[in-house]
Structure 1
Amino acid sequence: MRGNQMEFEAVIGLEVHAQLTTQTKMFCSCSTKFGNPPNTQVCPVCMGLPGVLPVINKKAVEYALRLALALGCKINFVSVMARKNYFYPDLPKGYQISQYELPIAEGGAVEIEINGQKKKINLVRIHMEEDAGKLIHDEKQPYSYVDFNRAGVPLLEIVSKPEISSPEEAVAYLKTLRRIVRYLGICDGNMEEGSLRCDANVSVRPKGSTKFGTKVELKNMNSFKHVERALSYEIKRQIGLLLEGKEIIQETRLYDEATQTTHPMRGKEEAHDYCYFPDPDLIEIQLEEELIENVKTELPELPHVKKQRFLQTYGLTPYEVDILIEEKSLADFFEETVKLYNNPKAISNFMLTEVLRYLNRDGKDIYETNLTSQNLAQLLQLVEKGLISMTIAKQVFPEVYEKGIEPKKIIEERGLIQESSEDKLKSVCEEVLKENPKEVEKYKAGKKGIIGFFVGQVLKKTQGKANPKIVNKILTELLEK
């Protein structure tokens, strides 16, 4: 980052809030289901009414341990829930139950990769807390409504060290973390619904300096695009102020997507402003070695490990592997299919084109559809055996995907078996060449690639039933005469 002969660098630390996929809230039995009518999932405990006593959700503790173990954190066998005191309309108790001095885990790291280069981003801590409610602003009236359904939903806050150097690294870190929590099954990672949210602390300093600049906290970022744009703008804003000899104010700023700028929200609080103290209604959390070992044995293969295994085992490109392992379910489905039909490349090619096209169209997980690994394997085996062409396979696939019908059955009922008889195909090839004299002259003039055009025309005339290899052979023989 250059300006007036001075070069600056950004220093970024992220605080990521991951909403846990437990069935009930952090300290009560209310449902955590998203999207129900406002204020229908509340009780005296999550509303903070006088005289109620919270009870910690054991499953939330286990989920916290999953992430801590996956990221190589130091587990604290004793941790404490604390009250974080501040007033906000969607915080019914007037304080949030969180952790401060004794969190459940410390240290650990997230390894990111950008353009083939790996970098380790170390963590400060992972701690448990409860979510606040949600304010809904009326665009037509000067009113705001409060929905307390989200109040008390379990959260993990993952705090990184200020070791992120650019908006691109920040996005890579977030994407990596999102993939990990989804693999672990502890968070759905849906940023639009707010189940994965991010605050950023960002400052700039002269390149090579070891002294931190004045940090600014950024809030209101609910997508990877927002994070990248907000950080990019804020870095430029701070560099501009320094070049003008102005002071950077430590504050909290909001990102405005409409203008792609940040603007002040409030002065930045420090830890002492929240008056943390241990929650007197909750006893300290004491972990047993047996529980930690049980959680450890249940950890799935993590994305970075799966990536290396896929590269070594299946002979796929890094690009293919990155897409296949993005969702654990997609990677699992791929491997199920490989067990039935040992052709990883063919399966990968079909999944990354046809299968993903329909999954993206429907916004579904692959296991939410009627597609089975048995049917996909059978479809691709029919292509390999020459019984159908890939063109026919793609025509048949929608019914296989949507209705779960066996490919062989569709092909037999519709009479789609591939035509491989040279005698029958030769007349069609001759017809195509006769109808396209100009293209024939181009071929004879040295433009050999045009044979693909002729093959396409033959397939069109035979409604995709012609065997492309046989057609290519016949056309080559006819054109070379």
Structure 2
Amino acid sequence: MTATTDLVPYEEALASYDPVMGLEVHVELGTRTKMFCGCSTELGAPPNSQTCPTCLGLPGALPVMNASGVESAIRIGLALNCEIAEWCRFARKNYFYPDMPKNFQTSQYDEPIAYNGYLDVQLEDGTTFRVEIERAHMEEDTGKSTHVGGATGRIHGAQHSLLDYNRAGIPLIEIVTKPIVGAGERAPEVARAYVAELRELIKALGVSEARMEMGQMRCDVNLSLMPKGSEKFGTRSETKNVNSLRSVERAARFEIERHAAVLNSGATVVQETRHFHEDQGTTTSGRIKEEAEDYRYFPEPDLVPVAPAREWVDELRRGLPELPLQRRNRLREEWDVSAHDMQSILNAGAIEPIVATIEAGADSTAARKWWMGELARHANETGVEPGALPITPVQVARVATLVQEGSLNDKLARQVIEGVLAGEGGPDEVVEKRGLKVVSDEGALTTAVEEAIAGNAAIADKIRGGKVAAAGALVGAVMKATRGQADAARVKELILEKLGVTES
């Protein structure tokens, strides 16, 4: 196999091969207790403090199913347009798990709780791509391994490893797509859009916070290439535990370039797991990928089958919230924005802050303006989501109201927002402390206008001669004199009045 540094340029790879993807997304459910025991799932506890004989796999301990986990699984399946099994069961997935003390994972194999669904996703240009869902099944998470020593933080080169079993047994839903074909050069974009839409759906259902940076949601990117015109899938690689939307896209793109290089050289792609390196945007080999039979699946003898009543499933279906794509389409119509603009709002993570700001009294145009402008800039500079900024939607709505009332202009409003973000208090406090109110005293404004005209006689003559556009220079002089605290539109009106000019 070629080294990972040997790549075929992306466009060249797509000229010869068609990519085939499969995405496996693991979601940690936000239940209070683990999937098969009563141990807490709360984050941040000391290592191995949230364990019991059941999740440690001690002899004689028996699992009991978490009903809330089953309900969450069904709701996810319904939201993904899946069929819900009338009868299914768990199985044991066997291989050496250093971070799973039972040495097997309780999962579902050939009898998932949900299957045969789809999720429609919108791409950057507003087009919709349907991703078919193979299955969504229940299982438990493994513990956490910390490899000590070495330069990479991985097991290779480490001096020793530490194991924390607090996470072992936390409920997981694994959502597996059918092979994604036909995306062509947009395959990486489709991968990112799918995981993004799935994350929004999971959050809307309230079954998980789905925070990828915390491992609550992670994606395995399966990818293979087949020569143009072929219908036979190539050998796949599986890039494991990719934990950001950007990385999902980059991993898919890198693997396309790498696979093409391997195939062009006449070598054979190895079926293996791979690690994604965020700092370099590359993948490296992990281990040879097992087939299903290598896991020696067999039905879990200590758990009863799951047979959800149809009445319960129908009740859960009726209780589903408005799903993200439907909601965005509704908001897009209400806000009268383009599909591209709505996608930009989604990408910026600003939908919820904007909605909350509108609910606090701002109109949609003002709410979008501040969250997608000044606040988006601050969010980018600080590396956080807009909703995590130290300013509330109520405060943003108050800034919008002050602008609408004429108490602030846009320049002053930006200073108010800066003050709120700096912890100087709410908008009204910042206005008071910094003395930022618009100068509305007609006498003071008239004096400033007269001084600007007197100090710029040549410009004033141009305006009298019909060059109204030259008034901008006088407006600027007045704004400077008032430290930006005048209403520019009113200043222009006063200038033209004083010069006896009517704007056509």
Partner of residue 207, structure 1: 228
State the AA in 1 paired with 2:108: Q
Partner Cα distance (1:44, 1:439) in 2: 86
SS of 1:197 mapped into structure 2: strand
Partner of residue 3, structure 2: none
Task: Indicate how the Cα distance of structure 1 residues 396 and 12 shifts in structure 2: closer, same or farther if over 3 A, else same.
Answer: same
Partner Cα distance (1:156, 1:269) in 2: 21
Partner Cα distance (1:44, 1:458) in 2: 77
State the AA in 1 paired with 2:30: T
Whether the 8 Å CA contact 1:135–1:144 is kept in 2: the answer is yes
Partner of residue 449, structure 2: 429
Whether the 8 Å CA contact 2:82–2:114 is kept in 1: the answer is yes
Q: What is the aligned-residue RMSD (CA, Å)?
A: 3.5
Partner Cα distance (2:375, 2:398) in 1: 15
Partner Cα distance (2:17, 2:407) in 1: 63
Partner of residue 156, structure 1: 173
Partner Cα distance (1:276, 1:411) in 2: 67
Partner Cα distance (1:7, 1:479) in 2: 71
List aligned pairs for 1:44-123, cutoff 5 A. Answer: 44-114=53-123, 115-123=125-133
Residue from 200, 204, 207 that aligns with 1:186 = 207
Identity score, percent: 39
Task: Indicate how the Cα distance of structure 1 residues 444 and 188 shifts in structure 2: closer, same or farther if over 3 A, else same.
Answer: farther
Partner Cα distance (1:214, 1:67) in 2: 30
Partner of residue 24, structure 2: 15
Partner of residue 493, structure 2: 473
Partner Cα distance (1:367, 1:260) in 2: 27
Offset of residue 41 of structure 1: 1.5
Whether the 8 Å CA contact 1:320–1:348 is kept in 2: the answer is no
Offset of residue 309 of structure 1: 0.8
Task: Indicate how the Cα distance of structure 1 residues 197 and 336 shifts in structure 2: closer, same or farther if over 3 A, else same.
Answer: closer
Offset of residue 341 of structure 1: 3.7
- 1:146 aligned to 2:163? yes
TM-score (norm: length of structure 1): 0.87
Partner Cα distance (2:286, 2:409) in 1: 61
- 1:242 aligned to 2:263? yes
- 1:297 aligned to 2:297? no
Provide Cα deviations, 1:402-446, integer angstroms capped at 9, x if missing partner.
Answer: 879775676578765533344421332344466678988999999
Q: When the two structures are aligned, how many residues end up with a matched partner?
A: 479
Task: Indicate how the Cα distance of structure 1 residues 204 and 366 shifts in structure 2: closer, same or farther if over 3 A, else same.
Answer: closer
State the AA in 1 paired with 2:76: L
Whether the 8 Å CA contact 2:112–2:136 is kept in 1: the answer is yes
Greater shift, 165-174 or 437-446, is seen at 437-446
Partner Cα distance (1:418, 1:124) in 2: 60
Offset of residue 472 of structure 1: 2.5
Gap runs ≥5 in structure 2: 1-9, 151-157
Partner Cα distance (2:87, 2:51) in 1: 30
Residue from 289, 293, 297 that aligns with 1:272 = 293
Greater shift, 41-50 or 394-403, is seen at 394-403
Offset of residue 476 of structure 1: 4.9
- 1:176 aligned to 2:197? yes
Offset of residue 99 of structure 1: 0.3
Partner Cα distance (2:222, 2:38) in 1: 34
Offset of residue 85 of structure 1: 0.5
State the AA in 1 paired with 2:229: G
Task: Indicate how the Cα distance of structure 1 residues 396 and 92 shifts in structure 2: closer, same or farther if over 3 A, else same.
Answer: same
Provide Cα deviations, 1:357-403, integer angstroms capped at 9, x if missing partner.
Answer: 56675957849967353x54444233223233233333334566787
